[in-house]
Every structure is written in structure tokens, then in C-alpha cells.
Amino acid sequence: MPRYDAPVRDMQFIFHDVLSLQNYSNLEGFSEATPDIIDQILEEGGKFASQALFPLNKVGDEQGCVRHDDASVKTPDGFPDAYRQFSENGWSLLAKDPEMGGQGLPQILSTAISEMMSSANMAFAMYPGLTSGAYEALMAGGSDAQKQKYGPKMASGEWAGTMNLTEPQCGTDLGLIKTKAVPQEDGSYKLTGQKIWISGGEQDLTDNIIHLVLARIEGAPEGIKGISLFVVPKYMVGEDGALGERNAVSCGGLEEKMGIHGNATCVMNYDGATGWLVGEEHKGMRTMFVMMNEARLGVGLQGLSQAEVAYQNAADFARERLQSRSLTGPKAQDKPADPIIVHPDVRRMLMDCKAFIEGARMFTYWTALHGDLLHRSPDEKLKEKAGDYMALLTPVVKAYLTDRGLKACNDALQLHGGTGFTSEQGIEQYVRDVRITLIYEGTNGIQALDLVGRKLAANGGRAVFTFFAEIDDFIGANEDNEDLAVFIEGLKDAKAKLQDGTTWLMQNGMSDFNNAGAASTDYLHLFGLTALAYMWAQMAKVALEKRGSDPFYDDKLVTGRYYVSRILPEAGAHLAKLKTGAEPLMALEADHF
């Protein structure tokens, strides 16, 4: 049977040794996050994930959700009870604002907990994950009254939140949204239209569901500039916070889908539902982007989380499965064959997973730390840099970690041979579950376009140039460290390639936008590879200092060297491909395909 053990040691290494969170005690919430408290939260979170959520992962996959004739939706057996425990334990409150009843702890800590919950049961973790995104959007764009009305109950998880963007005719292109909002005399709006593929649109976990809905106010300008954001509760909420009558929003059907069966993916019908404007008229996308950015980092984390659980089970299988003898002669003399972990090609799959996962974890947490700096630092310059990094890195975290997360799950499945393809061992579920992460919250292709089209050029390229300068500083400060040389050389080379690719884009992307489009995915991968090389260099530096005290640090160095020698060379191929420009992609006539 599959297992999941939260990688607490690795998380502690990043928090305490590499990022030294104790040095940030001047930031709100960080002084309470002492190393002891962090360790305790990680341990408890790990236990909850592996003991309460992981056993429900297969149940959720097999049972899925069921819609009844009265439009109610039943989640898989065990989900409501696990959700109750999740809320009662206060897991969703960790990093939330104390004014809303939250504990105000650093977001980076909450990120680690989210990783665990998602590894253990991605379909389950999506319910509180989306609620957090909706909560953040309301906190960013809602009125004080809206914040007070919905904030505390969404922060605690007593009520859930959803995001309603997609309609049958529009996914990527939200300018095509048709859902209509008609102003009422009392200041509310009546919303009419259909949304599709809405995660957690209906469920039996919470007393109320707070839908954030994009719609077009009657007479609004065409396209994206005419979209407004509304809050539409499933049950009306009185001034005293009590639940009132049912709103005219209901689940019209559930999607049959490839994975995340435990998460209800709903068609949502708005039949004159009462909603209230969030923020300004026609400026809905601005607030929704707060939610989308939060959600995009969460989706990157999902890619990592599924890679982790798939890898753990692949490592177990590789130690147990006996097939063939080692190329260099028998290793398990007492057995009829050697465990497959002796074979270099099996090692390739395991090491590819491990080197990606550990680099990606550091990258995600480091990015989350910039989120904390953005919201909590008193230093304006630092805030500006953190904001620039969050904007620049969000598409990279989302798309690179999910592309590679899928590859890792595939490698873990491949390593299992036929056992991977059949369902008993449970590996194929991770491949099916992780697959959606490349699609929702903006497909990975759209993330790449966002990176090259918007994020690179913003403020005259300030974010990317700051990132390059930071890497240069790190290289400069560590160039004399002979033990670190392999990491510094790798980083230097990758950064030079990324800079080369950036210059190429700046010179060729503006003159022909198809060049930018054609280069975008390779550029994003080159960026991801370089970012992970920087993460590995930082981790290796600490591991070198601590080596000898614990084999953990030696393993870290071995894994980091693998990253530099066996994964980082992909940077060269991505640079070569992105420099071909659009011609090889666009040459064929559309009807010649």
C-alpha cells in the first residue's frame, strides 16, 4: 500500500539552516514562529496529513463526489469528518490576519503545511486552498463591511470560498464572459449566467459557500475592461452573521474527470442570484488577480506535492522489487535477483525526482518568504523588491513546478513498471491528479506568455535585473569557495544563458510578437532551471558548512551535484530552441496539419 510521510527534516533544513527564519523576527508574526514552534507545527501538520488525510486519498479517487436531485453534492466518505478536524485544529488559521481570528504566523509556514495536506490528499486540500484564495481577494478588494461579514468565517474554514471565472465559451479569454449583473435599488445586483468547472462549487463540508464571481454589469464595455467582481453567498448572511434564505445559485451538474475525483467540479447556475460588487465597477480583474496569484502559487505547490508522494513510493518500490542482477555483479546474494535500485537507469528516475523536488521546495518557500516580506516588512525598498519577485516568479512557480511535477509523477509510475499502470499500488492516481495542475489557474502556456509578455518588461525590467544582480552577488561572494565550485560554475553558466535568452527576447520579441510567443515556454523552463540552480547553490553552501554532523548534509550535496550535472544542462537546449524564433512553428499552413 502507498504511504506518505511528511518531509519534515527537509522543511526544517530550509527554514532553520538555509533561510534562517529566526533572522526575520522584526517582521510581524515571525517572532512567534520560534524554531520550536515551527518544528511542533510541522510535526503536527505531518501527522494530520499522513494519518487523517492520506487514507482518504484513494477513497476519494474511487468514490468521487455525487450530486443529488436536489442539487446538493456529497463528497467522499470521510471528507466531512476530516474537514471538521482540519478546521477545528485551526490549520486554515495559521497565517491569517489576527483581526479575522487568524494566528498571523508567517505565510511560509502555512505553505509547508499546505504542501503536506496536498501531498496527502490533493482533492481534499483544494477545498481549503481555494477558500484561502477567495479570502485573500476579499481582504484585498472588499469593503470593510464585506471583510467583517465573511472574513472570520472564511479564515476559520467554517465557510468555504470559490472562484467563478470560466464559462462554456471562455476559459483563457475572460473578456468573453457573458454572466450578467443587473443593479438593484438596494445596492445589490442580480446575477444571471452559467459558470463551468467550478472547484468546490457545491459540497457538504461547510455551512455556507462564498462564491466570488466575475460578471458583466449591464451596459459595461466589451472585453476584459467591462468585467466586475461580485460576492455571492450560497446562503444570505444577516447583519448579525446568521444564515438566512437560500440564494438563487445552484450546482447544475458535476463533471466526470480524469483525476481529483474527491473535489467537486461543478456547473454553477446563477438564476438571478443576489450578489454584491467587490471593489470598483469594471475593475474586477484587478482584485481577481490577487486571488489568482495566490492560487497560482498554490498550484505550483500542488505539482511539487504530488511529485513528493509519488517519489516516496517509487523509492520504496525500488528497494523492494527484485529484478535482474546489477550490471557490476550480484548485490543481494541471498535473493534470486537484486532490488531494482541497483540499476543506473532506475537511479536516473529516482534522482531526477529527488533533485527536482528538493530544489523546487526551496524555490517555493523562498518565494513564499518574499510574500511575507511584501506584506510585513517595514522597509519600503525591500517591499518593492519582494513585490517585483512575487510578480516575476509566480508564473515560473506555477508552470515549471507543475510541468516538472508531472514528469516526476510519470517517472515514479515508470519505475513501478506494470505495477505503476495498474491501480492497486495507487501510483497512477498521482499522475491523473497532478495532470490538471498544468491546465487550471491559467494553462502553463499562458503562464509563459505572462512571464515574457508582462512580467519581464514591467518597470523597465526592474524585477529580472534585480534577480540577475542578486545571483551575481551570490556568485561574487562565493567564487573563492572551492568546495562550492561546481554549484557556482553551474549557476554562472545557467544565469548567462538566461540573460542571453532575456536579451534575445527583448531584441526579437517586440519586433515580432510571434517570436515572443514561440520562445515563451522554453524561456520559462530556462528560468525555472536557473532559479533552481540558485536554490541548490544556497542549499549546498549550508550543507558544506554542516557536513559531517549528519549524513543528511552529505546526501544534500550528492543530490545537488546531480541537479547541476544531469538536469541543469537542459538549459542549453531551451536557449537554442527559444532562439529559433517563430518561423519553425508558424511555417505550415493551418490546414496542412
Ligand X SMILES: Cc1cc2nc3c(=O)[nH]c(=O)nc-3n(C[C@H](O)[C@H](O)[C@H](O)COP(=O)(O)OP(=O)(O)OC[C@H]3O[C@@H](n4cnc5c(N)ncnc54)[C@H](O)[C@@H]3O)c2cc1C
- Residues in contact with ligand X by the rule CB under 6 A: 163-166, 171-172, 197-199, 257, 265, 436, 439-443, 445-446, 449
Is 441 part of the annotated catalytic residue set? yes
Cβ-based nearer residue to ligand X, 171 or 461: 171
SS3 45: helix
Q: How near is the Cβ of 202 to ligand X at its closest, in Å?
A: 12
Are the beta carbons of 21 and 38 closer than 8 angstroms?
yes
Are the beta carbons of 129 and 102 closer than 8 angstroms?
no
Q: How near is the Cβ of 91 to ligand X at its closest, in Å?
A: 21
Q: How many Å apart are CA 280 and CA 162, to the nearest integer?
A: 20
Q: How near is the Cβ of 203 to ligand X at its closest, in Å?
A: 12
Cβ-based nearer residue to ligand X, 197 or 230: 197
Cβ-based nearer residue to ligand X, 100 or 399: 399
Residue 25 contacts by C-beta under 8 Å, 6 or more apart in sequence? 31
Q: How near is the Cβ of 167 to ligand X at its closest, in Å?
A: 8
Residue among 209, 217, 284, 215 at smallest CA distance from 250: 209
- The active-site residue out of 167, 202, 308, 441 is 441
Handedness of CA 213, 218, 223, 228 (dihedral sign): negative
Cβ-based nearer residue to ligand X, 105 or 165: 165
Amino acid identity of residue 342, one-letter, is V
Instruction: Dig out the grid coordinates for 252 from the structure.
Output: 447544475
Greatest CA span in the chain, whole angstroms?
84
Residue number of the CB atom closest to ligand X:
171
Q: List, in sequence order, the alpha helices (H) in 181-327.
A: 284-320
Q: How near is the Cβ of 324 to ligand X at its closest, in Å?
A: 40
Q: How near is the Cβ of 121 to ligand X at its closest, in Å?
A: 16
Q: How many Å apart are CA 8 and CA 461, to the nearest integer?
A: 37
Cβ-based nearer residue to ligand X, 298 or 420: 298
Cβ-based nearer residue to ligand X, 199 or 530: 199
What does the angle CA 495 – CA 497 – CA 502 come to, to the nearest 5 degrees? 95
Residue 472 CB burial class (10 angstroms; 0-12, 13-18, ≥19): middle
Q: How many Å apart are CA 142 and CA 148, to the nearest integer?
A: 10
Residue 309 CB burial class (10 angstroms; 0-12, 13-18, ≥19): buried
Are the beta carbons of 355 and 560 closer than 8 angstroms?
yes
Residue 35 contacts by C-beta under 8 Å, 6 or more apart in sequence? 15, 16, 21, 22
User: Cell 479575522 appears where?
Assistant: 100
Q: How near is the Cβ of 166 to ligand X at its closest, in Å?
A: 4
Cβ-based nearer residue to ligand X, 121 or 166: 166
Q: How near is the Cβ of 446 to ligand X at its closest, in Å?
A: 5
Read off the DSSP letter of residue 221: P
Q: How many Å apart are CA 66 and CA 254, to the nearest integer?
A: 8
User: Cell 483525476 appears where?
Assistant: 259
Cβ-based nearer residue to ligand X, 140 or 449: 449
CA-only gyration radius of the chain, Å: 24
Cβ-based nearer residue to ligand X, 216 or 385: 216
Q: How many Å apart are CA 446 and CA 524, to the nearest integer?
A: 11
- Distances in Å between the Cα of 448 and the Cα atoms of 311, 500, 564 are 27, 17, 24
Residue among 269, 178, 264 at smallest CA distance from 232: 269
Q: How many Å apart are CA 89 and CA 444, to the nearest integer?
A: 34
- Distances in Å between the Cα of 76 and the Cα atoms of 63, 80, 201, 302, 458 are 6, 8, 15, 20, 45
Cβ-based nearer residue to ligand X, 141 or 152: 141
Which residues are annotated as catalytic?
441
